Amino acid sequence: MTERTPFMAGNWKMNLDRKGGLALAAELRDRVGDRKDVEVAIFPPAVYIDELARALAGSPVRVGGQDCCEESSGAFTGEVSAAMLADSGAELVIVGHSERRHVYGETDEQVAKKVRQGLDAGLDVILCVGELLEEREAGQTQAVVRRQTSEGLKLVNEGEMARLVVAYEPVWAIGTGHTASPAQAGEVHSDLREFVAGLHGAHIAQSLRIQYGGSVNPANVAELMSVPDVDGALVGGASLSAEKFIPIIEFDHA
Ligand code: 13P
Q: What angle do CA 179, 181, 185 make, to 5 degrees?
A: 95
Residues 35-47, mean pLDDT to the nearest whole number: 96
Q: Whose CA is nearest to atom 5 of ligand 1?
A: 236
Domain layout of the chain by residue ranges: 7-249
Distance CA 98, CA 2 (A): 29
Please tell me the CATH superfamily of domain 7-249, with its number. Aldolase class I (3.20.20.70)
Ligand 1 near 240 CB (within 6 A): no
Q: Is the confidence at residue 254, as pLDDT, over 60?
A: no
Cα 15 to ligand 1 centroid, rounded to whole Å: 12
Ligand 1 near 237 CB (within 6 A): yes
Ligand 1 near 213 CB (within 6 A): yes
Which atom number of ligand 1 is nearest to the Cα of residue 176?
4
Ligand 1 near 216 CB (within 6 A): yes
> Residue 106 in contact with residue 126, Cβ under 8 Å?
no
How far is the first Cα of the chain from the last one, in angstroms, to the nearest whole number? 25
Distance CA 242, CA 239 (A): 7
Distance CA 196, CA 206 (A): 9
Q: Is the confidence at residue 157, as pLDDT, over 70?
A: yes
Note the pLDDT tens digit of each residue in 184-200. 999 999 999 999 999 99
Cα 215 to ligand 1 centroid, rounded to whole Å: 6
Which residues carry out catalysis?
97, 169
Note the pLDDT tens digit of each residue in 80-130. 999 999 999 999 999 999 999 999 999 999 999 999 999 999 999 999 999
Cα 217 to ligand 1 centroid, rounded to whole Å: 10
Distance CA 110, CA 113 (A): 5
Ligand 1 near 175 CB (within 6 A): yes
Cα 198 to ligand 1 centroid, rounded to whole Å: 29
Q: Is the confidence at residue 78, as pLDDT, over 70?
A: yes
